[in-house]
Every structure is written in C-alpha cells, then in structure tokens.
Amino acid sequence: MKRLCLALPLLLPAADLLAASFERDDALKLSNVVISANRQVQARNDSSAANTVFTRDDIDRLQPSSVTDLLSRVPGVQVSQAGGRGSLASIYIRGTKPAQSLVLVDGQRIGNSTSGDSNLQHLNIQQIERVEVLRGSRSVIYGSDAIGGVIQIFTRRSTESGLQPRVHVGFGSNQTWERSLGLSGGDEQTRFNLGASLDETAGINRTHTSYPSDGDHDAYRNRSVSFSLSHAFNDDIEAGLNVLDNRGKSEFDNPFGRYDANYQVFQQKPYSQFTVSGVSSYVDARINDAWTSRVELSHSENREETLDKLSAERSVFNTYRNSLNWQNDLALNEQNSLILGGDWYEDQVNSSTTLAEDSRWNRAAFIQHRFQGQFFSTELGLRRDQNQQFGGQNSWSGTLTLPLNPDNDLLWSYSEGFRAPTFNDLYYPNDNGFQNSNPNLKPETSKSYEVQWRSQLSDTSRLEASLYRTDIKDAIVFASDGPQNIASARINGFEAALKQELFGWQGSLGLAIIDPRDRDSGYTLTRRAKRTVSLDLDRQFEQFGVGASWQAVSSSYDDSKNQQRLGGYGLLGLRGSWAVNREIKLDMKVDNLLDKGYSRTLYQHQGAQYGYREEGRALMVGVTWTPQI
C-alpha cells in the first residue's frame, strides 16, 4: 500500500493531485490500476484477477449508448437483451448465468434480491466515471454471487481544482434524445460532483407477430442524478458520500398474452416504472505507515411497479439492502501484506406478491495474504459467511505468479464461490398448480481453475490470455416440480485481450471461446454463445477522431434442451469526433451500420417461435460543452 501511494504521484500530473489522501479518486482516472480486485488500489498487472478497465476517457472515445453496450466489448462477457434500450438485460460472465455474477456501484451491491437481475440497463452512461470487470470468482473478497465475476461501476468524480461545468445534448434515430449536465470542482481539502441526465426514446416494436396491442413502439425514459462529495480532514483521514438515482418508465410487449376467467385473451399495453438507487458513505483512515482502514456504509433500492394502460392490473416488487463493510490493509514488510475485513448486509422485500419470508441477513469475515518476491508471488485467501437461512459457508482462493522475465508473467489460480438462492427461488407463490419455488433449495457452489499469461510483447503491444475451467455444483434449474438443485455444470473457456498500436491506430481485440455444459444432460447452457469476438479501432488526427467497432457472436440456444436456436450475428459500428475548440466537442456514431436483424432472446406466441427485435441501424449526433471558468 505504501509503495502504491508513493507511485501514484508519479503516474498523475501534478495539477491533478490535490491531496495525497485522495488516492482512490485519483486512481479512477488511470487505466493501469484496478480497485475492485481487492477493494484497494493496485497495479492491474499485480492483480490476480483477469480484469478489464474502462475509464471516462475510454467511454467518451467509444461512445457507448449504455453500460451493456460497453460490457459487450469485454472478452468472456455476453449480453442478452429483450429488445433495444431499456429492455431487460442479462449479463453472462464466463458462461455463468446472470445471478452468478456480482454487480456493484461505488462498492455496494445493486442486484435485485428477488429475481437476481442487476438492472444494468437503467444505469445512465453519462453518470459513470469508470467500469471495472473482474472475470473469475472473487468470493473470498465479496462472498455470495461472485462465481462468474464482478462488475463494479464508479460514479463521476472530480480531480481538479476550481469549477468544471459540462453540458451534453444528443439526438438520434427513433426520436432518441440524450441530455445531461454536470458541475464538478474542489480544492485541496474538498471535492464534489453533481450531475443530472434525461434520456428518452420512442423505441422500437420489440416483438414480431403478436397481439394487436403489441404492435406499437416501446418507449423508454430514464432520469438520472448523481452526487459525490469527499473531504480530506488531513493527510490521514478522508470521508465521502456517493449518491446515484436512476428512475423512469419502460414500455414492453407481452406476446404471451393475459387471460380472463373464461380463458379469453385480453389486450394489454404494459409498462414498468423503475427506480435503481443507492447511497454510500465511507471513511478512509491511515492509521500508520503500515496500516490503513476503510469503513463503508450503504443503502440501495431496486423498485419496480408494473402497470397496464388498458386495465387495472398492477404488481410491485421492491427490494432494499443495507450493508456495512470494514477492511484493513496491512503492509507487514516489503514482501508480505495482509487484508482483514468483515461484511454485513440485510435484504428486505416489499411486494404485492406475498412471500413466505421477506428478509434475511448475511455476515462474513475474510482474510487474504499476499507475498511478493523476486522469483514468485503468492496470494491466499479465506472467507467465512454466515447466512441467516443457509448457515456457514467457507470460500478459499489461491494464486501463484511466476515472472518469467520483466515482460511476461504466468499465473495459476484456484478459487471457490457460492450463490444463495433468491427470494423468488425460495418463496414465490404457486400459480395454477405450477410449482414456482422451493424453500428447500441449497446454495450453488463452484470451483474454478485458471492459467493466465500476461505479456508486454512490445512497447506498443500487450497480450493477456486465460485458460480456465469452472465446475458448478447444486446448480438451480426449473423442473416440472419447481426449482431444484439437480444440475451440475462444467464450463471450459479460453479468452484473450490484445491491445496494439500500429501506424497511429489504437486497436483493442477481445476473443472468447467457451464450452458451457450441463453435466447431467450434456446440453449447452442456455443463451451462451461458444465464440465471441470484439474489435475496436481508433485514431486521433489532431482535433479529429475516428473509430470503428466490430462484434461477432456465434449461435446459441434459448432452451435447456437445445431445441430453440438463436442465430449468430455480426455488428459493425462507426464513430467520429471533432474538438472544435477547448470547450466544444462534436460526436457522431452509427451503430449496426449494416442494419443487421438479430435477436438475443426468443419467445413463443400461439405455438410459434419468434425472436425479440433488437435495434437496427441507428444514428446518434451529440455536442458536449465544457466552458472554462
């Protein structure tokens, strides 16, 4: 920790470094560090986790329309959506299902404890400073849900003195509007950032053949507010507050239909009013040169009210989470360091659907030792979780790192993970004789084995590759008699990330090959494509910037018996930017340039099979104004 604190001033321009105690905020601007792996700032190459980092500069250059758009560029990460902006998004990391990966915002869990969904589709990209993706289990540090990996999103921060206002307006296809404004600033003791955004789109018709009431376009509206405040009392103590609130309205289609008492279908125009919000606070204290301590307290809410324009139907699913984390980082000597910590969180459900249980808590303690020597390094961790419903659970992890030479590292890793069943898995009421839940479910557990190779091939080329296997036991699947712990899964995979500069072009290539199998049936796991490729090329010509993106996804299956095939697809996008002067920048992009028709999810309508539509060719033009004050 001490060595990293000394190194940060060398990595940051002097004008950007307001106070030595603002270490974490300053690190958010850097692409060569990672924070999520051990909840502390460390060099990316020193982390045992395979990781991908997007800074705000990356987000501005790539011009993604959403967080899910950004994540689709990560090797080993697949996104499944049910029709354009605002539709339900499922994230599959290394072949694991969405509920088996953990999503954090500023250190706090935002996943829905009833369904397990993260609702990442509702996080506004303009309010985000940084996104980190860890691939592979991190259960020793984070506990439940981190089987496949961890996604952490950091809200906007200020790292400069004075005031920096910003305004962004964009307009594009399907009557899409993006509007945001923000103000950040600070001095040697205090920093703040305040931002607000409003995104609206008329949307697309997400379904093909369906009921007449589903023939309209499905609009989406998202209002977002973020606020961060940090204050350094002295060089050793810092406290801060982070707030993020996303809320709005999302229209959708129901091709399955609704039936009255006489089993006659009636027309619907359903929509949901959603809120994804969180408040977190922290205190960082440097006890002495060898000991730092951080306490985090947070509250998050995931609320959804589903209504219908043509009827009085209404349902509510609101989940709330309070959490507390305390972590201590100890530098024992130049070669040995220790992490000691404890976690507590409590989930609560308020729903129009009565559940047998509507709250539970989880508390944990963890320890991780790291040895960093000249010829090898090791990392060994243990976590003990105590869950109100499922009792105790131990998780182990270990990594051996061999530096083959100054430019090449080889890592061998073993990690364990687990996931507690959601409230819906356990307690959702039965309906029309169908068993929807099972209160006797056990947690899912996993064991992962991985080999990583990290190579600085040249001054302008870097390669990171991983070969891994994940075994999942007691996997929860839906059978004719409800959810059961009857499945085990085996996922073999290879992924590689190459960054290359050639003739002034910056290239980023991501490749993943996976074989995700249900070991009991031999079938491929649902909605997991076996091959994905992502390529970004960018070049800056003084004040002009140009870029292109290409993504290819192979076919997959939408059902557990591999009868319903989802076709593969390839998407091409172009983008450009013009810095008119120091204050004004123009952006333009075309997504899905070739107007490819594709689906990531299937549905059944009156015995026939269809795919939800995704957005076709879409143009977006925007202007960003950052006036100098």
Cα separation, 524 vs 178, whole angstroms: 39
Give the mean pLDDT of 208-230: 87
Among 296, 167, 290, 163, smallest CA distance to 238 is for 296
Whether 155 has a pLDDT exceeding 70, the answer reads yes
Q: What is the pLDDT of residue 16?
A: 38
Assigned CATH topology for domain 2-625: Maltoporin; Chain A (2.40.170)
Whether 6 has a pLDDT exceeding 70, the answer reads no
Q: Give 542-570 pLDDT, tens digit per residue.
A: 999 999 999 999 999 998 889 999 999 99
Whether 17 has a pLDDT exceeding 70, the answer reads no
Q: What is the pLDDT of residue 523?
A: 92
Calculate the average pLDDT of the chain.
91
Residue 567: DSSP 8-state: P
Whether 431 has a pLDDT exceeding 80, the answer reads no
Q: Give 56-76 pLDDT, tens digit per residue.
A: 999 999 999 999 999 999 999
Among 526, 600, 502, 476, smallest CA distance to 116 is for 476
Domain coordinates in residue numbering, the chain: 2-625
Q: What is the pLDDT of residue 337?
A: 96
Q: How much of the chain exceeds pLDDT 90, in percent?
A: 75
- CA-based torsion, 137, 140, 142, 143: positive or negative: positive
Cα separation, 154 vs 57, whole angstroms: 14
Residues sharing a CB contact under 8 Å with residue 581, sequence separation 6 or more, in sequence order: none
The per-type count for the chain, helices as H runs and strands as E runs, is: 6, 37
Whether 470 has a pLDDT exceeding 70, the answer reads yes
The more confident residue out of 118 and 246 is 246
Give the mean pLDDT of 422-447: 87
Cα separation, 359 vs 346, whole angstroms: 7
Residue 581: DSSP 8-state: S
- The confidence band for 18, taking pLDDT boundaries of 50, 70 and 90, is very low
Q: What is the pLDDT of residue 301?
A: 94
Q: How is residue 89 written in tokens?
A: 């998004």
Lowest mean pLDDT among 167-181, 245-259, 358-372, 460-474: 245-259
Whether 12 has a pLDDT exceeding 50, the answer reads no
Amino acid occupying residue 86: G
Whether 263 has a pLDDT exceeding 70, the answer reads no
Whether 602 has a pLDDT exceeding 70, the answer reads yes
Q: What CA–CA distances, in Å, run from 511 to 494, 506, 554, 569?
A: 8, 17, 12, 15
Identity of the highest mean pLDDT range in 116-130, 252-266, 448-462 = 448-462
Lowest mean pLDDT among 281-295, 308-322, 397-411, 452-466: 308-322
Q: What is the pLDDT of residue 111?
A: 82
Give the mean pLDDT of 96-120: 90
Long-range contacts of 330-336 (CB under 8 A, 24+ apart): 330/290, 330/291, 331/1, 331/2, 331/289, 331/290, 331/291, 332/290, 335/371, 335/372, 335/373, 336/369, 336/370, 336/371, 336/372
Give the mean pLDDT of 152-179: 93
Q: Kindly state the greatest CA–CA separation across the chain.
A: 76
Give the mean pLDDT of 101-123: 90
Q: What is the pLDDT of residue 85?
A: 87
Give the mean pLDDT of 235-247: 95
CB 280 within 8 A of CB 296: yes
Note the pTM of the prediction, 2 decimals.
0.93
